Amino acid sequence: MVVGSLALIYWTSRNLFAPLNIAVMFIVLNYVGCLMVMDLNPPLVIRLVVLVALGIFCCALGALAARWWLHHDPRKELRAFRAREAGSWFNSQTFFTMALYAFIILGMATVVFFFVRAGVPLLSPDVNIAKVEAPRQGGYLPMRFMRLFLPLLLMIYFVGYRRMVRPNRVVAAFAVIFLLVAFTLFGYRGYILNFFLLPFIILMAYQRVSKRTLALLGTAGAASALTITAVAWQETSFGVLWQILSQRIFLAEVFDGIIPIFYRLVPTVGFLHGQGFLMDIPAVFARVGIGPAATENFAQYLARMNLGQNIFDVQAAPTLIGEAYANFGYPGVVAILFLFGFLLQWIYIKTLRGPKDAFFLPLIVAIQHSLLVAAHGPFVFMILDAGGSLLIFTTIFVLLYVFWSLPKGGPRFRKLLPGVYPRAQGAPPARPPNPQPYPRTRWVWPRP
């Protein structure tokens, strides 16, 4: 079932880096982790293995439904999108560049302020405790600058390189090194993958990346993860370090979220009938000071159930399959994972058919990245949190663009329309195409 699902998902996109392909590969890591614990209780673990395989299969069916619904021609549409030049609804290249670099400098200054205020977790006596305590002292925005804003700004630089952004390789290289060092000092190995490497891997679904750049990023990420593990666990043996990392990759989410839901939560409490998702909503507002600060999301509730207490407000990793089962059982896994596969594939296809905007393409990649990260839970909490963060990011960027353009008569914007995409066989006839070639623009404000 799993092998057939992977082949079907790849066939729907013909793109190894399509977001759904990457999302399902992370679920496969959970599947392998379930196989690794088969000796604990084979009859019960087989049920767990089947549950995870069922979720992967439903993702594949969702992707297939999206391709059929949108009459998607994977290879032709991908080739056509990559052949286009990037543009932007921000009209001025100069002010766009100034806004981008100003935002990068602001982001790096905010991260430095975070470490000055909260300390450096990696250099503390107990890294695992310090990295949980540091965000409380550092505040909401500094974490967003490090985890989301700076990687997103680097993606905008990469997509708009030369066409919309005036290149400055020194600033770009320094920002990459700064971000990698910041993630290392913070002490979370998962951040290296989830917030440093993963966004650029998703971007590769739409934009070609040189093998040298990819190799450098991968090597730097691996070195950072090994450094954090060696310092936090005070180990120098590569064999021991690999054993620790492999347990984190394959077994952490299995023991942390899926097994407690399957064998403890549901048998003792019963199915939650949607309450597991709903409890994430007040928890989001509590993070920004609206409501009691101790309000738990589903992942914190699950961690408290596992540990008996949750002093540091740590979060378990229930995964979307686990949350779907905890709320609605097997029917929930079928329906929710089908919708998840459909949604990711639908966004991917719509992105290929839209304009190649140097600002909005990375923003869409950030949305897809948020869905991938949220699929490891708590889903609703992380989606709402990411939505608010992207709204703040867009507001800051637009304000910086407006600020720099005011002395020159005010900001100017334009509408960037999509080009004509190849249509698959059997698709309904398209509307008469506009003979004007891509990109087609028109002024929307101010009028000339």
Q: What's the pLDDT tens digit per position in 172-206?
A: 889 988 998 998 898 888 888 888 889 989 999 99
307-318: per-residue pLDDT in tens?
877 766 778 889
β-bridge mates for residue 416, sequence order: 441
* Per-residue pLDDT tens over the stretch 140-158: 788 889 989 999 999 999 9
CA–CA gap between residue 47 and residue 35 (Å, rounded)? 11
Cis check: omega of the bond before 378, within 30 degrees of 0:
yes
DSSP single-letter state for residue 442: E
**C-alpha angle with apex 415: 94 to 70, nearest 5 degrees?**
125
165 within 8 A of 157, measured Cβ to Cβ:
yes
Domain ranges in the chain are 2-82+254-339, 92-248+357-374+381-406
pLDDT for position 338:
98
Q: What is the pLDDT of residue 57?
A: 97
Residues ≥6 apart with Cβ < 8 Å to 58: 333, 334, 335, 337, 338, 341
Predicted model pTM: 0.90
**Does an H or E element contain 416, and which?**
strand 413-417
Beta bridge partners of 414: 443
The tokens describing 335, both together, are 């329906």
Give me the half-sphere count of Cα atoms (radius 13 Å) on the Cβ side of residue 268: 8
**Per-residue confidence (pLDDT) for residue 238, from 0 to 100:** 81
The pLDDT of residue 221 is 82
Inter-residue contact 84 to 354 (CB < 8 Å): no
**pLDDT tens by residue, 73-110:** 999 999 999 988 888 889 899 999 999 999 999 999 99
- Cα(65)–Cα(68) distance, integer angstroms: 5
Name the phi and psi angles at 85, rounded to 5.
Answer: -90, 145
Q: What is the DSSP letter of 435?
A: S
Choice among 129-133, 153-157, 325-329, 393-397 with the minimum mean pLDDT: 129-133
Give CA–CA dist 378/299, Å, rounded: 5
Reply yes or no: is the peptide bond before residue 42 cis, omega within 30 of 0.
Answer: no
- Nearest Cα to 68, choosing from 378, 428, 390, 380? 428
pLDDT on residue 440: 40
